[in-house]
Amino acid sequence: MEALQFLFSVESWRMAVFWTLSLIFSYLHLLFRGIFQKSQSYPRRSLHPSSEQPICIITGATSGLGAAAAKYLSREGYYVVLVGRSSHLLSKTIQEIKQQQEDVHLKALQVDLSSFQSMLSFKSSLEQWLLDTNLHPSVQLLINNAGILATSCRFTAEGYDQMVETNYIGAFALTNLLLPMLKNSSTPSRIVNVTSFTHRCVCLLLFSYELHRQLFLMDPSHHISVMAADPGAVKTAIMREVPRHVSQLAFTVLKSLGILQSPENGVDSIIDAALAPREASGQYFFGGKGRTMKSSPLSYDAKLAEKLWASSCELLREAQLTMQESTKAS
C-alpha cells in the first residue's frame, strides 16, 4: 500500500521522470562534448607532497559515498576524520576500513548537521583532538558529503526544512566554522561539495561557485580551492525513505540503462575533485576520469549566489543569537 501511495504521488513522478532525464542528459552532454570538443579533464595529484600528514574531514562518512571516499583517501595518506551522527556507525565504518588496510589513520567525530549546536560542539572536539595529538591546528581537505533524500517536508528543532538544512545549510555552516582552520594550513587546502545531477542541490552549487569567487579568485593568498562533485546514480542507502519496492524498481531501471554505479565507482568524481590540480577550482566534476562539465545555468547566477550568501549568513547569525539567549536563560 505504502509503495502504491508513493508511486501515485507527485514527488515520485518528479523523481522518476525528471531526475532520470536530467541524469541521461548529463551523460549525453559528457559524451557529445567528448566527441565534438576537447573535453576538459584533470589528472589526480597528491596535493601534499610535504612530510606533514594532511587532515581530511568527510561528512556523512558512515555510509555509501562518504565511507568509500574515507577508504580511498586514507590509503592516499590522508589522516581522515570521519564525521557522522551515530557513534556506533562511525566505529563500524572505521573497523571495516581497518580490516582492509591496517596502517591507515582514521578518527571518528560526531555531528548532526541539522543542529547548529552540534556543529559548534564538533568544532571544539576537532580542535581539542588536534591539540591532544600534537597535530597542526589546520585542515587541508573538507568534503561536504552528508545528505538526505527526504520524501516528505519536515522541520528540524531549529525550524528549518530538514533536507535543506542537512544538504545545504549544514555544509554552509560547517564550512564557515572550519574556514579559519582551512586558512591556517601551510599547504594549499580544498573544499569539495558533493552535489547531485537532480540539481535539487542548486543552493550548494551557488554556494560552491560563490566560495570559489571569494576564496580562490578574490583572496588567492590562502590557497583554498573549491570544487563541486556530482557522483551520478549510485547504489547507496540514499533512498532509505522511499518505500523498498519503489527504490528496488528505481535501481533496476537505472541498472538496465547502464548508469547505476557501486559506491566504489561512484566515488570517482569526488576523488577527482579532491585530488585535481588547484587551477580546477570552481569546476563541476562529473563522470569520473577527472572529467568536468557545466552545471545548470541557474547555478552560475552570481547575483543570486550573493543573495543566498547574505541570507545564509543572516540565518547563521540568528541561530547563534538564539543559542546564546537559550544558554543565558538556562
Ligand X SMILES: NC(=O)c1ccc[n+]([C@@H]2O[C@H](COP(=O)([O-])OP(=O)(O)OC[C@H]3O[C@@H](n4cnc5c(N)ncnc54)[C@H](OP(=O)(O)O)[C@@H]3O)[C@@H](O)[C@H]2O)c1
What is the spatial distance between Cα 22 and Cα 188, in angstroms, rounded to a whole number?
34
Residue 222 C-beta: closest distance to ligand X, Å: 26
Interacting span for ligand X (CB under 6 A) from 34-42, 54-62, 97-105, 318-326: 54-62
Q: Which C-beta is closer to ligand X: that of 190 or that of 200?
A: 200
Contact predicate 245/40, CB 8 Å = no
Q: Is 147 in the site for ligand X (CB under 6 A)?
A: yes
CB of 126 to ligand X, least distance (A): 14
* Joined grid coordinates for residue 243: 518505500
CA nearest neighbour of 324 among 137, 154, 120 = 120
Count of Cβ atoms closer than 10 Å to residue 174 Cβ = 22
Contact 239, 205 (CB under 8 A): no
Q: Which of 145, 295, 299, 312 binds ligand X (CB under 6 A)?
A: 145
Retrieve residue 111's grid coordinates: 555531528
114 binds ligand X (CB under 6 A): yes
* Residue matched to cell numbers 589528472: 43
Regarding 148 and contact with ligand X (CB under 6 A), the answer is yes
**b or e along 191-225 (b: 16 or more beta carbons within 10 Å of the residue's beta carbon)?**
bbbbbbbbbbbbbbbbbbbbbbbebbeeeeeebbb
The answer to whether 140 contacts ligand X (rule: CB under 6 A) is no
The correct pick among 196, 281, 283, 295 for binding ligand X (CB under 6 A) is: 196
Q: Does 86 sit near ligand X (CB under 6 A)?
A: yes
Tell me the three cell numbers of residue 122. Answer: 564538533
Please tell me whether residue 231 binds ligand X under the rule CB under 6 A.
Answer: yes
Nearest approach, Cβ of 172 to ligand X (angstroms)?
14
Q: Which of 71, 85, 213, 223 binds ligand X (CB under 6 A)?
A: 85
89 binds ligand X (CB under 6 A): yes
Interface size with ligand X, residues (CB under 6 A): 30
By CB under 6 A, which span of 123-131, 190-198, 287-295, 312-320 interacts with ligand X? 190-198
Return the number of the residue (48 or 200) whose C-beta is nearest ligand X.
200
C-alpha cell read off for 241: 525513505
Asked whether position 288 contacts ligand X by CB under 6 A, the answer is no
Distant-in-sequence, close-in-space partners of 130: CB < 8 Å, separation ≥ 6: 55, 136, 137
Q: How do strand 260-261 and strand 284-286 relate by DSSP bridges?
A: unpaired
Q: Confirm or reject binding of residue 166 to ligand X (CB under 6 A).
A: yes
Q: Is 316 in the site for ligand X (CB under 6 A)?
A: no
For ligand X, give the closer residue by CB, 27 or 223: 27
Q: What is the C-alpha to C-alpha distance for residues 62 and 321, in angstroms, rounded to an integer?
A: 31
Q: Can you tell me the distance from the alpha carbon of 271 to that of 274, in angstroms, rounded to the nearest whole number?
A: 5
145 vs 185 by CB, closer to ligand X: 145
Contact track, ligand X, 55-84, x by CB under 6 A: ----xx-xxxxx-----------------x
SS3 assignment for 67-104: HHHHHHHHHCCCEEEEEECCHHHHHHHHHHHHHHCCCC
Binding residues among 233-272 for ligand X as defined by CB under 6 A: 233-234, 236-238
Interface residue with ligand X among 146, 202, 250, 305 (CB under 6 A) is 146
For position 192 contacting ligand X by CB under 6 A, the verdict is no
Q: Which residues bind ligand X (CB under 6 A)?
A: 59-60, 62-66, 84-86, 89, 111-114, 145-148, 166-167, 194, 196-197, 231, 233-234, 236-238
